[in-house]
């Protein structure tokens, strides 16, 4: 194609900019086994660290004897809390304003808690020696039930703070209380309930689950004593935050800490926080003078680093007789485990849970959340969702179904009646969030028409009749969910982590030959950032995406950013990328005007070039302007063509979607079969439809796992019983349903390119949709709510409770 003769459309297509299904540049290395993951790294003289862990859920440590472990040939050092105290690192601050033991200090508070860290010349030797650390325990009473945490005689979990009446988020009302957090208008809500025509109340549990990326958490720390500098490679979703935390904890100046997050094998929120393994590897490297690698195994991953959910929600909705919602009230107990190590924006101990009014026009609402300590692993991360949004979406979407059932209305019809209308946007919710944009009725209508919803309900009715006549033992359930997310944390007025505003950044440098590099504060864990950020630049600057390198994860070269989680990369760094491009483009325009001897305003932008208005044959392409920027800039102008943008978003973005699921349930075996799953997502402007579809497939599959089988379960002794793939359900290709994806496009009005983020939507919307489908199957028999996960046993038990096996 000749550049002179190509049409604008042809030139635009050649750029592979926004909207095209560009193949991923990352894949070239991944399909050849040439990815560069942390465990692939081996440095000369590198040592290996491994933990001795607690077999108890709660116990006092009487004695730790490291003699035998230290005597194993190849063992270099053994760290305990006593050793860490000499460098003031036995405890570390959490992102949530609490403190957490790095190694058990005096007692253990959950099973598999880190007790000692053995450093050895070989991986196997470290593991051998970790088993030889002798710990004398005195078992203590265990509590793993958050609903009993604030009982009068509950075991004291945190002796270090048991007399403290003030926590990081205000008053504490019990020694196992972390915080109380409220939002909305309590008086108005209570009044609305007092006057309500119809109400429902249901206790809805979102069990403890785990993000469980296929690659576990790991790091390599290498401290250079002569330079006083620390290199830290790790599986970090937020490398800059890790650098700042490491500086604050270790007292090594931040400019002497170099954090590198190489390729990451999935994150989903698991790799946001700071873990004992990182701290111990750093200390071990300082102590031994060698690089130290720490690699978590799967059991350690599932049982110690960053669980998600564990929300126990008492949910109420008030409504008029004809089906208009009037109020929402929710009281939640949040199980935070032994330490409050939630990864939320610091001011939000229950995250963005107040998005619980969902997609519906509630005049008033109130939520109250009590966080409690139990003998379970700490965490509470945003697993493939913005902070606590998935808990909120699950709760409202179940409650809407339960209310529809009480009213005798179809759940889709009930939703249509209460969805926020297009003309109400921007819409301020009863909780004070300003939803930037939406077109909910169009999305819901499209979803219902696409699956022929009416016909499905007719089939269901016929099947129910056949079931009652004894002609079949199979029930059919239709799940409907309409979700609204709140992502892109976030505006500095709402969000900070440890006082750092949750902006994000992009730095773009265009080289003389018209290629360039973009560095960002986010960090891909599989989302394909190297591909999609380049597409934004291609469209904004008219340079081919193939000519733009995208680099993340090196804190020395990337501008400061808060990392990738909560679907924030596109809403925040994507915006920063577009804004940096616009700075570059403005400078290029001045250069073009100078070269073409016209005023800046006399130029039009056309895909990849500036043309003189009224004389389109005279133009300068961006590639020409890049060259010119390095050798013939206008007098007085700085040479070069680069820009950096730190983007503080004016608001969150609010992606939404309408999902419909059809499930068949065998009441005698409890087996379920997802017959159909349709997902319509509206994530605003679509950058790469192929990647969006892939994200939706993946998020739905994780939602399927959560809804249909996952739970990090503890027995009453505090033993975690689901800490390996033997017991913790991860769907295989056989169980995983086929996904039908669809979309509408409602651009965000405040985002430079109108994009909203999508990676987490399918997990947020998928879980209630599956759960609603299973519940819907049993609803005609009088059942209102069956708790997740809907595995075969629980589904069979639900059928049994309804008398279906008599």
Partner 1 sequence: MPESQVSMQVNGKAVEALVEPRTLLIHFLREQLNLTGSHIGCDTSHCGACTIDLDGKSVKSCTLFAVQANGADIRTIEGMVNADGTLHPLQEGFRETHGLQCGFCTPGMIMRAYRLLQENKSPTEDEIRFGIAGNLCRCTGYQNIVKAIQYAAAKINGVPFQEAAE
Minimum distance, C-beta of residue 382 to partner 1, in the bound complex (Å): 16
Q: What is the distance between the alpha carbons of residues 10 and 65, in angstroms, rounded to a whole number?
A: 72
Buried b vs exposed e over 142-159: b needs ≥16 C-beta within 10 Å? bbbbbeebbeeebbebbe
Tell me if residue 415 is catalytic: no
Residue 97 or 526 with smaller CB distance to partner 1:
526
Q: What is the CA radius of gyration of the chain?
A: 28
Q: How far is the CB of 666 from partner 1 (least distance, A)?
A: 20
- Tell the smallest beta-carbon distance from residue 473 to partner 1 (Å): 24
Report the site for partner 1 in 296-325 (rule: CB under 8 A). Answer: 297-299
Other Cβ atoms closer than 10 A to 97? 18
Closest to 288 measured CA to CA, from 65, 117, 435, 458: 117
Give the closest residue to 654 by CA, choosing from 475, 454, 436: 436
Residue 88 CB contacts under 8 Å (≥ 6 apart), including other chains: none
Quick one: which of 16, 20, 24, 453 contacts partner 1 (CB under 8 A)? 24
Contact pattern for partner 1 over residues 466 through 495, marking x by CB under 8 A: ------------------------------
Binding partner 1 by CB under 8 A: which of 111, 222, 505, 525?
525
Residue with Cβ nearer partner 1 (58 or 210) = 210
Q: Record the tokens describing residue 576, joined without a space.
A: 């920063």
Smallest gap from Cβ 729 to partner 1, in A, equals: 11
Of 542 and 553, which has the nearer Cβ to partner 1? 553
Residues 6 or more apart whose Cβ sits within 8 Å of residue 702: 268, 384, 762, 763, 766
Total residues interacting with partner 1, rule: CB under 8 A: 57
Peptide bond into 327 cis (omega under 30): no
Given the complex with partner 1, which of 699 and 709 has the nearer CB atom?
Answer: 699
In the complex with partner 1, the residue whose CB is nearer, 488 or 698, is 698
Q: Which two structure tokens, joined as six digits, stand for 726?
A: 């033997």
| Residue spans of beta strands (DSSP E) within 460-531 | 474-484, 496-497, 500-501, 504-510, 516-520
Among 20, 385, 518, 661, the one annotated catalytic: 385
Q: In this structure, what DSSP letter does residue 528 have?
A: -
The two beta strands, 229-234 and 257-260, are parallel
Sign of the CA dihedral with 396 first, then 398, 401, and 403 last: negative
Give me the catalytic one of 100, 237, 525, 527: 237
Residue 279 tokens read as: 């701290």
Let me know: does 394 contact 206? Beta carbons within 8 Å: yes
Interface with partner 1 (CB under 8 A), residue from 146, 167, 213, 337? 213
Nearer to partner 1 among residue 740 and residue 800 (C-beta): 740
CB closer to partner 1 out of 42 and 469: 42
Strand partners, 381: 308
Contact with partner 1 (CB under 8 A): which of 263, 507, 776, 791?
263
Neighbours of 522 (CB within 10 A): 30
Binding mask 50-69 for partner 1 (x = CB under 8 A): --------------------
Residue 760 appears among annotated catalytic residues: yes
Within positions 739 to 758, which residues make up the interface with partner 1, using CB under 8 A?
A: 739-740
Regarding 526 and contact with partner 1 (CB under 8 A), the answer is yes
* Residue 673 within binding range of partner 1, rule CB under 8 A: no
Stretch that binds partner 1, among 136-144, 278-286, 509-517, 694-702 (CB under 8 A): 694-702
Q: Is residue 43 involved in binding partner 1 (CB under 8 A)?
A: no
In this chain, which of 80, 113, 374, 701 binds partner 1, going by CB under 8 A?
701
How far is 196 from 319, CA to CA, in rounded Å? 6
Q: For residue 197, what are the β-bridge partners?
A: none
**Phi, psi torsion values for 24, nearest 5 degrees:** -80, 135
Reference 536, options 252, 341, 754; nearest CA is 754
218 in catalytic set:
no
- Per CB under 8 A, does 23 bind partner 1? yes
**Residue 34 or 599 having the CB closest to partner 1:** 34
How many CB atoms sit inside 10 A of residue 251's CB? 10
Site string for partner 1, 709-738 (x = CB under 8 A): ---------------xxx---x-xxx-x-x
**For the chain, the helix, strand and coil percentages under 3-state DSSP, each to the nearest 5:** 30, 25, 40
Known catalytic residue at 385: yes
Beta bridge pairs of residue 61: 137
Choose, from 300, 391, 397, 760, the residue flagged as catalytic.
760
Out of 6, 14, 19, 35, the residue judged to bind partner 1 by CB under 8 A? 35
Q: Which of 11, 172, 243, 384 is catalytic?
A: 384
Residue 19 makes contact with partner 1 by CB under 8 A: no
The catalytic residues are: 237, 384-385, 760
Applying CB under 8 A, which residues contact partner 1?
Answer: 23-24, 26-35, 37, 39-40, 42, 123-124, 212-216, 263-266, 268, 297-299, 525-528, 690-691, 693-695, 697-702, 724-726, 730, 732-734, 736, 738-740
């Amino acid at each position: 194609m000749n550049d002179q003769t190509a049409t604008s459309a042809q030139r635009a297509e050649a750029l592979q900019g926004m909207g095209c299904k560009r193949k991923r540049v990352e894949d070239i290395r991944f399909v050849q086994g040439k990815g560069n993951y942390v465990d692939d790294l081996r440095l000369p003289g590198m040592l290996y660290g491994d933990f001795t862990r607690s077999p108890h859920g709660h116990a006092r440590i009487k004695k730790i004897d490291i003699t035998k472990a230290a005597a194993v040939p190849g063992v270099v050092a053994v760290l305990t809390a006593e050793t860490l105290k000499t460098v003031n690192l036995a405890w570390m601050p959490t992102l949530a304003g609490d403190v957490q033991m790095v190694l058990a200090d005096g007692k253990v508070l959950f099973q598999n808690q880190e007790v000692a860290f053995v450093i050895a010349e070989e991986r196997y030797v470290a593991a051998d020696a970790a088993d030889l650390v002798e710990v004398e325990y005195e078992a203590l009473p265990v509590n793993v039930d958050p609903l009993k945490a604030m009982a009068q005689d509950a075991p004291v979990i945190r002796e270090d703070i048991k007399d403290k009446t003030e926590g990081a988020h205000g008053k504490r009302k019990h020694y196992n209380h972390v915080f109380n957090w409220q939002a909305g208008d309590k008086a108005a809500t209570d009044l609305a309930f007092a006057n309500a025509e119809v109400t429902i109340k249901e206790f809805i549990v979102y069990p403890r689950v785990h993000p469980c990326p296929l690659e576990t958490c790991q790091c390599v720390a290498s401290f250079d004593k002569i330079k006083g500098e620390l290199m830290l490679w790790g599986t970090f979703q937020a490398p800059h935050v890790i650098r700042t935390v490491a500086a604050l904890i270790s007292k090594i100046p931040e400019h002497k800490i170099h954090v590198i997050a190489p390729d990451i094998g999935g994150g989903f929120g698991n790799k946001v926080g700071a873990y004992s393994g990182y701290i111990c590897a750093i200390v071990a490297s300082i102590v031994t003078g060698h690089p130290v690698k720490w690699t978590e195994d799967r059991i350690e991953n599932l049982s110690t680093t960053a669980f998600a959910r564990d929300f126990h929600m008492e949910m109420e909705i008030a409504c008029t007789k004809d089906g208009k919602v009037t109020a929402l009230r929710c009281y939640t107990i949040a199980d935070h485990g032994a330490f409050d190590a939630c990864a939320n924006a610091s001011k939000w101990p229950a995250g963005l849970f107040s998005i619980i009014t969902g997609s519906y026009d509630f005049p008033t609402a109130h939520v109250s959340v009590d966080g409690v300590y139990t003998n379970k692993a700490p965490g509470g991360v945003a697993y493939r969702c913005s902070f606590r949004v998935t808990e909120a979406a699950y709760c409202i979407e179940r409650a809407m179904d339960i209310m529809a059932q009480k009213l005798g209305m179809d759940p889709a019809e009930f939703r249509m009646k209460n969805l926020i209308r297009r003309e109400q946007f921007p819409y301020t919710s009863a909780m004070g969030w300003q939803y930037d944009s939406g077109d909910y009725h169009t999305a819901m209508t499209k979803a219902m028409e696409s699956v022929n919803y009416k016909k499905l309900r007719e089939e269901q009715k016929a099947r129910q009749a056949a079931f009652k006549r004894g002609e079949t033992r199979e029930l059919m359930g239709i799940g409907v969910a309409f979700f609204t997310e709140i992502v892109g944390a976030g505006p500095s007025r709402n969000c900070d982590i440890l006082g750092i505003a949750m902006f994000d950044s992009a730095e773009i440098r265009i080289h003389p030959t018209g290629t360039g590099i973009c560095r960002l504060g986010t960090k891909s864990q599989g989302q394909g950032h190297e591909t999609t950020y380049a597409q934004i630049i291609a469209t904004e600057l008219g340079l081919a995406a193939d000519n733009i390198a995208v680099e993340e994860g090196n804190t020395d070269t990337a501008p400061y950013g808060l990392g990738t989680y909560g679907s924030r990369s596109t809403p925040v760094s994507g915006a920063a990328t577009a804004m940096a491009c616009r700075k570059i483009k403005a400078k290029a325009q001045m250069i073009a005007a100078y070269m073409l001897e016209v005023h800046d305003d006399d130029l039009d932008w056309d895909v990849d070039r500036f043309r003189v208005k009224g004389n389109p044959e005279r133009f300068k392409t961006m590639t020409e302007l890049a060259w010119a920027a390095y050798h013939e800039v206008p007098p007085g102008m700085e040479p070069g063509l680069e820009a950096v943008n730190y983007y503080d978003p004016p608001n969150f973005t609010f992606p939404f979607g309408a999902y419909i699921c059809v499930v068949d349930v065998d009441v005698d075996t409890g087996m379920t079969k997802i017959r159909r799953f349709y997902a319509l997502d509206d994530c605003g402007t679509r950058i790469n439809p192929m990647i969006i579809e892939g994200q939706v497939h993946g998020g739905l599959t994780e939602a399927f796992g959560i809804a249909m089988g996952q739970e990090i379960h503890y027995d009453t002794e505090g033993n975690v019983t689901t800490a390996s793939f033997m017991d913790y359900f991860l769907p295989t290709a056989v169980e995983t349903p086929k996904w039908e994806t669809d979309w509408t496009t409602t651009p965000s009005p405040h985002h430079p390119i109108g994009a909203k983020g999508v990676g987490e939507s399918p997990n947020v919307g998928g879980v209630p949709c599956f759960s609603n489908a299973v519940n819907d199957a049993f609803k005609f028999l009088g059942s209102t709510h069956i708790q997740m996960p809907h595995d075969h046993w629980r589904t069979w038990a639900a059928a049994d409770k309804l008398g279906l096996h008599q």
